[in-house]
């Protein structure tokens, strides 16, 4: 990782900047209201931001239910990609999940997103199945991936 970044919990004051990252990253981005609801009302939700020189350049989130972590979002601004920041963000999220008592972690990724799949495999994730027509923008299938957080 070539640049200095810090990780911290996401707050409601971060939402506007997180939405900018979200819109730059996804064809079916979450709304401001979705993030607000996650932070204020979803007791299972945990979100972190990645900060570089005071600027939010990425974020990730998950739901923690009993001993399972379900990744909801992972995004890095396009101009900061290719520097292993997504990997650092995922490692931070995985460490947070472990500290919170999660034993496994799961996520969905577009079947066409081979870059993300490669990263997840590097982190120990394995294919678990397919969710047909999962993504609402183009009805692309999602690959479900799993990893054990404790060996």
* Residues known to be catalytic: 108, 120
DSSP state of 19: H
Among 113, 115, 94, 119, which Cα is nearest to 104's? 94
Q: How far apart are CA 127 and CA 57, in angstroms?
A: 28
SS3 state of residue 124: coil
Count the neighbouring beta carbons within 10 Å of the beta carbon of residue 36: 13
133, with CB counted inside 10 A (0-12, 13-18, 19+), is exposed
CA atoms within 13 A on the CB side of 1: 14
Q: How far apart are CA 118 and CA 105, in angstroms?
A: 16
């Amino acid at each position: 990782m070539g640049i200095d970044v810090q990780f911290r919990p996401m707050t409601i004051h971060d939402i506007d900047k997180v939405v900018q990252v979200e819109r730059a990253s996804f064809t079916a981005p979450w709304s401001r209201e979705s993030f607000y609801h996650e932070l204020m009302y979803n007791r299972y939700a945990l979100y972190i931001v990645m900060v570089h020189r005071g600027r939010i350049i990425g974020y990730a989130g998950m739901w923690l239910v009993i001993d399972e972590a379900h990744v909801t979002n992972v995004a890095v601004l396009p101009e900061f990609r290719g520097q292993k920041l997504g990997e650092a963000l995922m490692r931070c999220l995985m460490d947070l999940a472990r500290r919170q008592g999660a034993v496994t972690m799961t996520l969905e990724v577009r079947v066409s997103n081979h870059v993300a799949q490669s990263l997840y495999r590097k982190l120990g994730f394995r294919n678990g199945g397919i969710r047909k027509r999962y993504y609402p923008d183009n009805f692309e299938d999602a690959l479900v991936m799993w990893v054990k957080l404790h060996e």
